[in-house]
Amino acid sequence: MFDTVQEALNAFKLGEPIILVDDEDRENEGDIVFPVSFATQEKINFCAKYARGLVCIAMHQTIAKQIGINPVHTNHADPFHTAFYDSIDAIPALGITTGISAKERAITARQVVNPSAKPTDFIKPGHLFPVVAKEGGLLVRKGHTEAGVDLCLLTDLAPAAIICEIMDEDGDMLRRNGLVDFAKTHQLKMISIEQLIEYRKTFAKDLIINAVEQEIDQHQSTDNSKESIALISEAQLPTEFGLFKSLVFQNSNTNESHVVLSMDSEKPNKPIVRFHSECLTGDVFGSVRCDCKAQLNNALEQIAKNKHGYLIYLKGHEGRGIGIGQKIAAYHLQDMGENTFQANLSLGLPEDDRNYLDAIAILKHLAVNDFSFITNNPDKIAAIQNAGFQFEQIIVPPFVTEQNKKYLQDKASIANHKITL
Protein backbone atom coordinates (compact mmCIF):
# COMPACT_ATOMS: atom_id res chain seq x y z
CA MET A 1 0.00 0.00 0.00
CA PHE A 2 2.74 2.46 0.99
CA ASP A 3 6.04 3.43 -0.64
CA THR A 4 9.23 3.57 1.39
CA VAL A 5 10.17 6.73 3.25
CA GLN A 6 13.36 7.04 1.20
CA GLU A 7 11.38 6.89 -2.06
CA ALA A 8 9.09 9.63 -0.76
CA LEU A 9 12.06 11.74 0.37
CA ASN A 10 13.71 11.42 -3.03
CA ALA A 11 10.55 12.66 -4.75
CA PHE A 12 9.96 15.41 -2.19
CA LYS A 13 13.52 16.73 -2.52
CA LEU A 14 12.85 17.25 -6.24
CA GLY A 15 9.75 19.28 -5.43
CA GLU A 16 7.26 16.56 -6.32
CA PRO A 17 4.01 16.35 -4.33
CA ILE A 18 3.58 13.24 -2.19
CA ILE A 19 0.68 11.90 -0.11
CA LEU A 20 0.95 11.70 3.68
CA VAL A 21 -1.61 9.56 5.52
CA ASP A 22 -2.18 9.78 9.27
CA ASP A 23 -3.51 7.13 11.70
CA GLU A 24 -6.89 5.54 11.07
CA ASP A 25 -7.74 6.32 14.71
CA ARG A 26 -6.76 10.00 14.36
CA GLU A 27 -8.03 12.12 11.43
CA ASN A 28 -7.71 9.16 9.04
CA GLU A 29 -6.99 11.58 6.20
CA GLY A 30 -4.44 11.99 3.44
CA ASP A 31 -2.81 15.28 2.47
CA ILE A 32 -0.97 16.41 -0.61
CA VAL A 33 2.41 17.72 0.62
CA PHE A 34 5.22 19.46 -1.27
CA PRO A 35 8.01 21.89 -0.33
CA VAL A 36 7.18 25.59 -0.52
CA SER A 37 10.54 26.20 -2.21
CA PHE A 38 9.02 24.48 -5.26
CA ALA A 39 5.56 26.06 -5.12
CA THR A 40 4.19 26.84 -8.59
CA GLN A 41 0.88 27.80 -10.12
CA GLU A 42 0.52 24.26 -11.44
CA LYS A 43 1.04 22.60 -8.06
CA ILE A 44 -1.34 24.94 -6.22
CA ASN A 45 -3.92 24.41 -8.96
CA PHE A 46 -3.48 20.63 -8.61
CA CYS A 47 -4.40 20.95 -4.93
CA ALA A 48 -7.47 23.03 -5.71
CA LYS A 49 -8.62 20.88 -8.64
CA TYR A 50 -7.92 17.36 -7.46
CA ALA A 51 -7.32 17.42 -3.69
CA ARG A 52 -10.09 20.00 -3.06
CA GLY A 53 -9.12 20.65 0.58
CA LEU A 54 -7.86 23.80 2.31
CA VAL A 55 -4.47 24.89 0.97
CA CYS A 56 -2.29 25.55 4.02
CA ILE A 57 1.37 26.32 4.49
CA ALA A 58 3.01 24.35 7.29
CA MET A 59 6.07 26.11 8.67
CA HIS A 60 8.64 26.09 11.43
CA GLN A 61 8.29 28.64 14.22
CA THR A 62 11.39 30.52 13.04
CA ILE A 63 9.67 31.41 9.76
CA ALA A 64 6.45 32.48 11.48
CA LYS A 65 8.49 34.79 13.69
CA GLN A 66 10.47 36.19 10.76
CA ILE A 67 7.36 37.14 8.75
CA GLY A 68 5.53 38.48 11.80
CA ILE A 69 2.40 36.33 11.95
CA ASN A 70 0.55 35.47 15.13
CA PRO A 71 -1.64 32.58 16.34
CA VAL A 72 -5.35 32.74 15.65
CA HIS A 73 -6.93 32.73 19.11
CA THR A 74 -9.55 30.02 19.51
CA ASN A 75 -11.36 28.24 22.32
CA HIS A 76 -9.31 25.13 21.47
CA ALA A 77 -12.40 23.16 20.50
CA ASP A 78 -10.27 21.50 17.82
CA PRO A 79 -9.32 18.15 19.39
CA PHE A 80 -6.03 18.09 17.48
CA HIS A 81 -5.01 21.67 18.43
CA THR A 82 -3.89 22.66 14.95
CA ALA A 83 -1.83 25.86 15.29
CA PHE A 84 -3.47 28.17 12.76
CA TYR A 85 -1.80 31.57 12.38
CA ASP A 86 -2.82 34.77 10.56
CA SER A 87 -3.81 34.08 6.95
CA ILE A 88 -1.67 35.98 4.46
CA ASP A 89 -1.25 37.32 0.94
CA ALA A 90 1.96 38.83 -0.39
CA ILE A 91 1.85 42.57 -1.05
CA PRO A 92 0.83 44.00 -4.47
CA ALA A 93 4.43 45.04 -5.20
CA LEU A 94 5.29 41.34 -5.45
CA GLY A 95 2.68 40.74 -8.15
CA ILE A 96 -0.48 40.17 -6.10
CA THR A 97 -3.94 41.44 -7.09
CA THR A 98 -6.65 39.57 -5.15
CA GLY A 99 -4.34 36.84 -3.85
CA ILE A 100 -6.71 33.93 -4.52
CA SER A 101 -5.47 32.62 -7.86
CA ALA A 102 -3.18 29.62 -7.92
CA LYS A 103 -0.44 31.77 -9.41
CA GLU A 104 -0.70 34.40 -6.67
CA ARG A 105 -0.91 31.87 -3.85
CA ALA A 106 2.31 30.36 -5.23
CA ILE A 107 3.95 33.81 -5.18
CA THR A 108 2.87 34.29 -1.56
CA ALA A 109 4.15 30.85 -0.60
CA ARG A 110 7.57 31.36 -2.16
CA GLN A 111 7.92 34.76 -0.48
CA VAL A 112 7.42 33.06 2.89
CA VAL A 113 10.71 31.16 2.42
CA ASN A 114 12.61 34.08 0.92
CA PRO A 115 15.56 34.52 3.34
CA SER A 116 14.99 38.29 3.18
CA ALA A 117 11.23 38.10 3.85
CA LYS A 118 9.87 40.54 6.42
CA PRO A 119 6.46 41.29 7.97
CA THR A 120 5.75 44.19 5.61
CA ASP A 121 5.88 41.78 2.63
CA PHE A 122 2.47 40.38 3.64
CA ILE A 123 -1.15 41.48 3.99
CA LYS A 124 -3.41 39.98 6.68
CA PRO A 125 -5.92 38.39 6.33
CA GLY A 126 -5.26 36.64 3.05
CA HIS A 127 -5.81 33.48 1.03
CA LEU A 128 -2.98 31.25 2.27
CA PHE A 129 -3.36 29.66 5.70
CA PRO A 130 -0.22 29.16 7.82
CA VAL A 131 -0.08 26.36 10.38
CA VAL A 132 2.96 26.23 12.64
CA ALA A 133 4.68 23.01 13.69
CA LYS A 134 5.44 22.09 17.26
CA GLU A 135 9.09 22.27 18.26
CA GLY A 136 10.41 18.71 17.94
CA GLY A 137 8.17 17.92 14.99
CA LEU A 138 6.60 14.47 14.68
CA LEU A 139 8.28 13.26 17.85
CA VAL A 140 6.01 15.69 19.72
CA ARG A 141 2.83 15.88 17.61
CA LYS A 142 1.68 13.38 14.97
CA GLY A 143 0.13 15.88 12.58
CA HIS A 144 0.43 16.72 8.91
CA THR A 145 1.81 20.13 9.92
CA GLU A 146 4.79 18.61 11.70
CA ALA A 147 5.21 15.97 9.00
CA GLY A 148 5.45 18.63 6.29
CA VAL A 149 8.12 20.57 8.15
CA ASP A 150 10.03 17.40 9.05
CA LEU A 151 10.08 16.37 5.38
CA CYS A 152 11.62 19.72 4.45
CA LEU A 153 14.31 19.45 7.08
CA LEU A 154 15.07 15.83 6.22
CA THR A 155 15.71 16.94 2.62
CA ASP A 156 17.69 20.12 3.49
CA LEU A 157 14.97 22.45 2.23
CA ALA A 158 13.58 25.61 3.83
CA PRO A 159 11.25 24.39 6.62
CA ALA A 160 7.87 25.12 5.05
CA ALA A 161 5.53 22.87 3.04
CA ILE A 162 2.20 23.20 1.28
CA ILE A 163 -0.34 20.76 2.73
CA CYS A 164 -3.85 20.16 1.40
CA GLU A 165 -6.41 17.54 2.46
CA ILE A 166 -7.64 15.16 -0.23
CA MET A 167 -11.41 14.97 -0.71
CA ASP A 168 -13.52 12.66 -2.83
CA GLU A 169 -15.53 13.94 -5.78
CA ASP A 170 -18.67 14.00 -3.62
CA GLY A 171 -17.01 16.23 -1.01
CA ASP A 172 -16.37 13.55 1.62
CA MET A 173 -12.86 12.87 2.85
CA LEU A 174 -10.92 10.27 0.89
CA ARG A 175 -9.87 7.34 3.08
CA ARG A 176 -7.22 4.62 2.73
CA ASN A 177 -8.47 2.64 -0.28
CA GLY A 178 -9.48 5.79 -2.09
CA LEU A 179 -6.09 7.37 -1.35
CA VAL A 180 -4.33 4.34 -2.85
CA ASP A 181 -6.33 4.79 -6.05
CA PHE A 182 -5.65 8.56 -6.01
CA ALA A 183 -1.91 7.95 -5.69
CA LYS A 184 -1.93 5.49 -8.61
CA THR A 185 -4.00 7.81 -10.81
CA HIS A 186 -1.69 10.77 -10.28
CA GLN A 187 1.54 8.73 -9.92
CA LEU A 188 2.37 10.08 -6.47
CA LYS A 189 4.44 8.48 -3.72
CA MET A 190 2.42 7.74 -0.57
CA ILE A 191 3.66 7.11 2.96
CA SER A 192 2.14 7.17 6.43
CA ILE A 193 3.01 9.52 9.25
CA GLU A 194 3.83 6.46 11.36
CA GLN A 195 6.45 5.43 8.81
CA LEU A 196 7.97 8.89 8.95
CA ILE A 197 8.06 8.85 12.76
CA GLU A 198 9.89 5.52 12.76
CA TYR A 199 12.33 6.85 10.17
CA ARG A 200 13.08 9.85 12.37
CA LYS A 201 13.57 7.74 15.46
CA THR A 202 15.97 5.45 13.60
CA PHE A 203 17.94 7.81 11.37
CA ALA A 204 17.27 11.43 12.29
CA LYS A 205 16.20 11.85 15.89
CA ASP A 206 18.20 15.08 16.31
CA LEU A 207 18.08 16.31 12.71
CA ILE A 208 15.23 18.79 13.14
CA ILE A 209 16.91 21.00 15.72
CA ASN A 210 20.23 20.92 13.90
CA ALA A 211 18.68 21.74 10.54
CA VAL A 212 16.77 24.71 11.91
CA GLU A 213 19.92 26.06 13.56
CA GLN A 214 21.76 25.74 10.25
CA GLU A 215 18.93 27.59 8.49
CA ILE A 216 19.15 30.46 10.97
CA ASP A 217 22.96 30.56 10.78
CA GLN A 218 22.79 30.61 6.99
CA HIS A 219 20.40 33.55 6.99
CA GLN A 220 22.52 35.44 9.50
CA SER A 221 25.74 34.86 7.58
CA THR A 222 23.97 35.93 4.37
CA ASP A 223 22.88 39.16 6.01
CA ASN A 224 26.45 39.81 7.23
CA SER A 225 27.72 39.53 3.65
CA LYS A 226 26.13 42.89 2.94
CA GLU A 227 29.13 44.50 4.67
CA SER A 228 31.75 42.55 2.69
CA ILE A 229 31.59 44.37 -0.68
CA ALA A 230 34.49 46.63 -1.63
CA LEU A 231 35.43 48.57 -4.78
CA ILE A 232 38.77 47.20 -5.99
CA SER A 233 39.30 48.85 -9.42
CA GLU A 234 37.77 51.20 -11.99
CA ALA A 235 38.43 52.54 -15.49
CA GLN A 236 36.72 54.09 -18.50
CA LEU A 237 35.13 51.59 -20.90
CA PRO A 238 34.11 52.73 -24.39
CA THR A 239 31.35 50.54 -25.87
CA GLU A 240 29.12 50.53 -28.93
CA PHE A 241 26.46 52.11 -26.71
CA GLY A 242 28.63 54.91 -25.38
CA LEU A 243 31.32 55.66 -22.82
CA PHE A 244 30.78 53.88 -19.50
CA LYS A 245 32.82 53.74 -16.33
CA SER A 246 33.60 50.16 -15.33
CA LEU A 247 33.86 49.42 -11.61
CA VAL A 248 34.80 46.07 -10.09
CA PHE A 249 33.46 45.15 -6.66
CA GLN A 250 34.63 42.11 -4.73
CA ASN A 251 32.93 40.15 -1.96
CA SER A 252 35.65 39.44 0.60
CA ASN A 253 33.78 36.38 1.91
CA THR A 254 33.28 34.61 -1.42
CA ASN A 255 36.04 36.33 -3.50
CA GLU A 256 33.43 36.74 -6.23
CA SER A 257 33.98 39.87 -8.35
CA HIS A 258 31.12 41.76 -9.99
CA VAL A 259 31.38 44.41 -12.72
CA VAL A 260 29.32 47.60 -12.78
CA LEU A 261 28.97 49.63 -15.96
CA SER A 262 27.90 53.11 -14.88
CA MET A 263 27.00 56.28 -16.70
CA ASP A 264 26.23 59.49 -14.84
CA SER A 265 26.96 62.28 -17.31
CA GLU A 266 23.57 63.90 -16.63
CA LYS A 267 22.66 63.05 -13.05
CA PRO A 268 19.36 65.01 -13.01
CA ASN A 269 17.78 62.03 -14.78
CA LYS A 270 16.63 59.24 -12.45
CA PRO A 271 19.12 56.39 -12.93
CA ILE A 272 18.19 53.14 -14.64
CA VAL A 273 19.40 49.97 -12.91
CA ARG A 274 19.65 46.39 -14.11
CA PHE A 275 20.91 43.31 -12.27
CA HIS A 276 22.29 41.06 -15.01
CA SER A 277 23.22 37.46 -14.20
CA GLU A 278 26.31 36.28 -16.03
CA CYS A 279 25.60 34.07 -19.04
CA LEU A 280 28.67 32.86 -20.90
CA THR A 281 26.67 30.98 -23.53
CA GLY A 282 24.40 33.91 -24.31
CA ASP A 283 26.40 37.05 -23.55
CA VAL A 284 29.69 35.83 -25.04
CA PHE A 285 28.88 33.03 -27.50
CA GLY A 286 25.58 34.46 -28.72
CA SER A 287 23.42 31.43 -27.87
CA VAL A 288 19.75 31.91 -28.72
CA ARG A 289 18.56 29.26 -26.26
CA CYS A 290 18.02 32.21 -23.91
CA ASP A 291 17.47 35.95 -24.35
CA CYS A 292 20.29 37.08 -22.05
CA LYS A 293 22.43 38.88 -24.62
CA ALA A 294 19.40 40.74 -25.98
CA GLN A 295 18.47 41.80 -22.43
CA LEU A 296 22.06 42.90 -21.75
CA ASN A 297 22.22 45.02 -24.90
CA ASN A 298 18.76 46.46 -24.25
CA ALA A 299 19.75 47.54 -20.75
CA LEU A 300 22.98 49.20 -21.89
CA GLU A 301 21.09 50.97 -24.68
CA GLN A 302 18.45 52.28 -22.24
CA ILE A 303 21.09 53.47 -19.75
CA ALA A 304 23.05 55.23 -22.51
CA LYS A 305 19.90 56.90 -23.80
CA ASN A 306 19.04 58.05 -20.27
CA LYS A 307 22.68 59.10 -19.69
CA HIS A 308 22.46 57.90 -16.11
CA GLY A 309 22.35 54.35 -14.82
CA TYR A 310 24.09 51.22 -13.56
CA LEU A 311 24.29 47.74 -15.02
CA ILE A 312 25.47 45.31 -12.32
CA TYR A 313 26.91 42.20 -13.96
CA LEU A 314 26.70 39.44 -11.34
CA LYS A 315 29.31 36.70 -11.37
CA GLY A 316 28.39 33.36 -9.83
CA HIS A 317 24.94 33.42 -11.44
CA GLU A 318 25.71 31.23 -14.47
CA GLY A 319 22.76 28.91 -15.14
CA ARG A 320 20.74 30.58 -12.35
CA GLY A 321 23.60 29.85 -9.96
CA ILE A 322 24.50 26.24 -10.83
CA GLY A 323 27.67 26.97 -12.84
CA ILE A 324 28.65 26.44 -16.46
CA GLY A 325 29.29 22.68 -16.20
CA GLN A 326 25.91 21.89 -14.69
CA LYS A 327 24.24 24.40 -17.02
CA ILE A 328 25.45 22.47 -20.06
CA ALA A 329 24.28 19.23 -18.41
CA ALA A 330 20.89 20.88 -17.92
CA TYR A 331 20.88 21.87 -21.60
CA HIS A 332 21.28 18.19 -22.47
CA LEU A 333 18.22 17.31 -20.38
CA GLN A 334 16.30 20.13 -22.07
CA ASP A 335 17.24 18.61 -25.42
CA MET A 336 15.58 15.42 -24.12
CA GLY A 337 12.34 17.29 -23.40
CA GLU A 338 12.62 18.69 -19.85
CA ASN A 339 11.94 22.37 -19.19
CA THR A 340 14.64 24.71 -17.89
CA PHE A 341 13.54 24.35 -14.25
CA GLN A 342 12.90 20.59 -14.23
CA ALA A 343 16.33 20.02 -15.77
CA ASN A 344 17.98 21.63 -12.73
CA LEU A 345 15.86 19.52 -10.40
CA SER A 346 16.74 16.34 -12.28
CA LEU A 347 20.39 17.13 -11.60
CA GLY A 348 19.63 17.42 -7.90
CA LEU A 349 19.99 21.20 -8.03
CA PRO A 350 17.60 24.04 -7.17
CA GLU A 351 15.49 25.68 -9.86
CA ASP A 352 17.18 28.99 -9.06
CA ASP A 353 20.14 29.31 -6.67
CA ARG A 354 20.82 33.03 -7.09
CA ASN A 355 20.60 35.79 -4.52
CA TYR A 356 20.98 39.51 -5.01
CA LEU A 357 22.60 40.59 -1.74
CA ASP A 358 25.87 41.61 -3.42
CA ALA A 359 23.96 43.70 -5.96
CA ILE A 360 22.05 45.41 -3.17
CA ALA A 361 25.30 46.09 -1.29
CA ILE A 362 26.77 47.61 -4.45
CA LEU A 363 23.79 49.94 -4.87
CA LYS A 364 24.17 51.06 -1.27
CA HIS A 365 27.89 51.65 -1.80
CA LEU A 366 27.04 53.82 -4.81
CA ALA A 367 24.33 55.64 -2.79
CA VAL A 368 21.69 54.74 -5.38
CA ASN A 369 18.35 54.80 -3.55
CA ASP A 370 15.68 55.83 -6.08
CA PHE A 371 15.77 54.41 -9.60
CA SER A 372 14.01 52.77 -12.52
CA PHE A 373 14.58 49.02 -12.38
CA ILE A 374 14.74 46.92 -15.55
CA THR A 375 13.45 43.43 -14.82
CA ASN A 376 10.68 40.90 -15.39
CA ASN A 377 11.86 38.73 -12.48
CA PRO A 378 9.70 38.73 -9.31
CA ASP A 379 12.67 37.54 -7.21
CA LYS A 380 14.66 40.64 -8.17
CA ILE A 381 11.65 42.83 -7.37
CA ALA A 382 11.32 41.13 -3.97
CA ALA A 383 15.02 41.67 -3.23
CA ILE A 384 14.80 45.38 -4.04
CA GLN A 385 11.53 45.76 -2.14
CA ASN A 386 12.94 44.02 0.93
CA ALA A 387 16.03 46.24 0.88
CA GLY A 388 13.84 49.35 1.17
CA PHE A 389 14.72 51.06 -2.12
CA GLN A 390 12.39 53.42 -3.96
CA PHE A 391 11.93 52.21 -7.53
CA GLU A 392 9.66 51.87 -10.51
CA GLN A 393 9.72 48.77 -12.65
CA ILE A 394 10.58 48.79 -16.35
CA ILE A 395 9.22 45.67 -18.03
CA VAL A 396 11.65 44.09 -20.49
CA PRO A 397 10.04 43.26 -23.83
CA PRO A 398 10.49 39.59 -24.79
CA PHE A 399 13.25 38.82 -27.27
CA VAL A 400 11.74 35.74 -28.86
CA THR A 401 13.41 33.23 -31.16
CA GLU A 402 12.21 29.85 -32.29
CA GLN A 403 14.84 28.31 -30.01
CA ASN A 404 13.98 30.25 -26.83
CA LYS A 405 10.20 30.51 -27.06
CA LYS A 406 9.55 27.48 -24.82
CA TYR A 407 12.17 28.74 -22.34
CA LEU A 408 10.42 32.11 -22.10
CA GLN A 409 7.01 30.46 -21.74
CA ASP A 410 8.34 28.37 -18.83
CA LYS A 411 9.82 31.44 -17.15
CA ALA A 412 6.40 33.10 -17.35
CA SER A 413 4.26 30.13 -16.26
CA ILE A 414 6.56 28.51 -13.67
CA ALA A 415 8.67 31.37 -12.28
CA ASN A 416 6.03 34.10 -12.76
CA HIS A 417 8.21 36.38 -14.87
CA LYS A 418 6.22 39.21 -16.44
CA ILE A 419 6.55 38.03 -20.02
CA THR A 420 3.78 38.25 -22.60
CA LEU A 421 4.36 36.20 -25.74
Catalytic annotation, residues: 352, 354
Mean pLDDT confidence for 213-237: 64
Residue 12: pLDDT above 70?
Answer: yes
**Contact yes or no for 384/373 (Cβ under 8 A):** yes
Q: What is the pLDDT of residues 378-400, one digit of tens each?
A: 888 888 887 889 999 999 888 99
Residue 39: pLDDT above 90?
Answer: yes
Integer Cα distance of 96 and 116 in angstroms: 18
Using 50, 70 and 90 to split pLDDT, how confident is the model at 227?
A: low
Q: Where in the chain is the domain with CATH 3.90.870.10?
A: 5-221
Q: What is the pLDDT of residues 120-133, one digit of tens each?
A: 999 999 999 999 98
Mean pLDDT confidence for 34-41: 94
CA-angle at 407, arms to 405 and 413, nearest 5° = 100
- Cβ partners under 8 Å of residue 55, min gap 6: 44, 47, 48, 105, 128, 129, 162, 164
Integer Cα distance of 372 and 363 in angstroms: 13
Integer Cα distance of 343 and 352 in angstroms: 11
Q: What is the pLDDT of residues 67-118, one digit of tens each?
A: 999 887 544 445 566 788 999 999 999 999 999 999 999 999 999 999 889 9
Q: What is the mean pLDDT of the chain?
A: 88
What pLDDT sits at residue 205? 58
Q: What is the pLDDT of residues 182-218, one digit of tens each?
A: 999 999 999 999 999 998 888 765 554 444 444 444 4
At residue 47, what are phi and psi to the nearest 5 degrees?
Answer: -60, -45
Q: What is the pLDDT of residues 334-377, one digit of tens each?
A: 999 999 988 988 888 778 888 899 999 999 999 999 999 999 99
CA 245 from centre of chain: 34
Q: Give, in words, the CATH class of 228-317+354-414.
A: alpha beta
Q: Where in the chain is the domain with CATH 3.40.50.10990?
A: 228-317+354-414
5-221 adopts what CATH topology?
DHBP synthase (3.90.870)
Integer Cα distance of 152 and 59 in angstroms: 9
pTM (whole model) above 0.85: no
